[in-house]
Amino acid sequence: MPFAYYDRLSSRSKAIYRRSDAVTAVKLSHPELLHPLVGALEEALAREDRRAVERAAGLLARGLLQMLALSPIAVRVLAVRPSTSDGELHGLYTREEGQPTRIQLWMRTARHKRVVAFRTFLRTLLHELGHHLDYELLGLADSFHTEGFFQRESSLFRQVVPGEEEKRRAQGLESPPPDRK
């Protein structure tokens, strides 16, 4: 079922939305190779070392994109999240003509300036990478937040976090379907 904003989209955008929604997983060829990079990211966050977090997040993004045969993008980690009356900004994917594509992430909450929980930070990175995958892997003309988009984000999370697939199997949950490029 489409999200509420679907009804306000143009016919062209609705077609893009449906294509996005239909793809529920992205299959990585050897996700276990990314596990040490995920561990390094978790350790850097625990040390509250912004430069190490940025380096680890960038290496993880590069490894994931390389596994999918996609060009790398710049990842920048900034200190405190910006906030508005609507809430806090967790991450930002920027794709502009003639400019390098980049992801910006913030490692501290706006209100209390605490380091973001590891899983939240990783999911934010994967979410922003999901926008890049929409354009570069799926060939979509736009990147919408669809159920399929969030399922792809979760499929990546389960693959890159050591033990997540095993936990799902132990709970009797199926693995995500194979990638439908």
What is the predicted pLDDT for the residue at 145?
A: 95
What is the predicted pLDDT for the residue at 169?
A: 57
Name which of 38, 101, 27 is nearest 71 in CA terms.
101
Q: What is the pLDDT along the chain (181 residues), one digit of tens a residue?
A: 788 889 999 999 999 999 999 999 999 999 999 999 999 999 999 999 999 999 999 999 999 999 999 999 999 999 887 777 677 778 999 999 888 999 999 999 888 889 999 999 999 999 999 999 999 999 999 999 999 999 999 999 999 998 866 555 556 665 544 444 4
DSSP string, 11-79: HHHHHHHHHHHH------S-GGGGHHHHHHHHHHHHHT-HHHHHHHHHHHHHHHHHHTT----EEEEEE
Cβ-based neighbour number of residue 5 at 10 Å: 11
Phi-psi region of 110 (alpha: psi -120 to 50; beta: other; left: phi over 0): alpha
Strands 87-88 and 83-84: antiparallel
For residue 122, give every residue at least 6 positions away whose Cβ sits within 8 Å of its Cβ, in sequence order, or none.
38, 41, 42, 157, 160, 161
What is the predicted pLDDT for the residue at 162?
A: 84
Alpha carbons 126 and 152: distance in angstroms, whole number: 9
Contact status, residue 130 vs residue 113, Cβ threshold 8 Å: no
What is the predicted pLDDT for the residue at 60?
A: 98
What is the predicted pLDDT for the residue at 181?
A: 40
Alpha carbons 97 and 103: distance in angstroms, whole number: 15
Angstrom distances, CA of residue 44 to CA of 30, 58, 178: 23, 12, 32
